[in-house]
Each structure stands twice: as structure tokens, then as C-alpha cells.
């Protein structure tokens, strides 16, 4: 029963974050929320997605999510979208990203730290 409640909580969090990310992508064109908050939230979104299917038992998941995000960012540095011939306006190119930024890596780390600390706080609650 506990696992089912956790899965539902992560599912709700995932869809809420997905909606926020879509809204940011579609309507926010500023110099802070879109580039920084969006990157912090995307790793939390990925974390919640994994937790829907595996709600417990992966202690290092925030670190794994960070390395996944780092890998995607490094693929951007390698210009993977152009190497694969993916049009820049396609959904895949938008999801993978087309430009490398070291600041994005910092944002991913912040998001993973937020997830880690949140999980610690939740586990310490009675």
C-alpha cells in the first residue's frame, strides 16, 4: 500500500512539473525562469518519472539523474542534433537541446540537491 501511495504522489508531481515545464517553454521568454528554473525543474521531473516505476530502493537516484543530465549536456557540446541530422525545430531537438552551457550543469546539480534534501526531510518525518 505504501508503494502505491508513493507511486501516485510521484505521478502527480511528474504531471505537475511537466505542465510547468510546458508552460515555461511556451510562454516564458525571460532571462531567469526559462533558462535556470526550467533546468532545475527538469531534473526533478526526471527523478519523479523514475520514482513512478521504482518508488523506493535507489539511494543514489539523484546522483544518477545528475549524471544523465550531464550526459545530455555533453551531447549538446558534441552537437549531437546536427550530427544525427535532426531538425532544430523538432520535438527531439527541443528535448535534447541544441546548445551547451556550463550554467545548465550547475542548475542540474541544484535540482538534484533539492530532490536529495527533500527525500531526506520526507524520510525523517514520523
Measured between alpha carbons, how far is 32 from 36 in angstroms, rounded to an integer?
Answer: 6
Contact, 54 vs 93, CB < 8 A? no
The CA distances from residue 13 to 19, 58, 86, 104, 126, in Å, are 10, 18, 31, 22, 21
As a whole number of angstroms, the longest Cα–Cα distance in the chain is 52
Q: Do 16 and 86 meet the contact criterion of CB atoms below 8 Å apart?
A: no
Note the pTM of the prediction, 2 decimals: 0.92
Average pLDDT of each block of 10 consecutive residues along the chain (126 residues)?
88 97 92 95 98 92 97 94 88 86 97 96 83
For the chain, state the CA radius of gyration.
16
Amino acid at each position: 500500500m505504501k508503494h502505491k501511495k508513493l507511486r501516485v504522489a510521484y505521478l502527480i508531481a511528474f504531471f505537475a512539473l511537466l505542465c510547468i515545464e510546458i508552460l515555461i517553454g511556451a510562454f516564458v521568454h525571460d532571462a531567469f525562469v526559462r533558462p535556470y528554473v526550467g533546468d532545475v525543474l527538469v531534473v526533478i521531473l526526471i527523478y519523479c518519472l523514475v520514482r513512478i516505476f521504482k518508488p523506493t530502493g535507489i539511494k543514489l537516484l539523484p546522483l544518477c539523474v545528475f549524471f544523465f543530465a550531464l550526459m545530455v549536456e555533453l551531447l549538446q557540446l558534441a552537437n549531437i542534433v546536427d550530427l544525427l541530422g535532426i531538425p532544430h525545430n523538432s520535438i527531439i531537438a527541443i528535448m535534447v537541446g541544441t546548445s551547451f552551457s556550463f550554467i545548465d550543469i550547475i542548475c542540474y546539480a541544484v535540482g538534484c540537491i533539492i530532490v536529495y534534501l527533500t527525500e531526506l526531510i520526507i524520510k525523517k518525518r514520523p
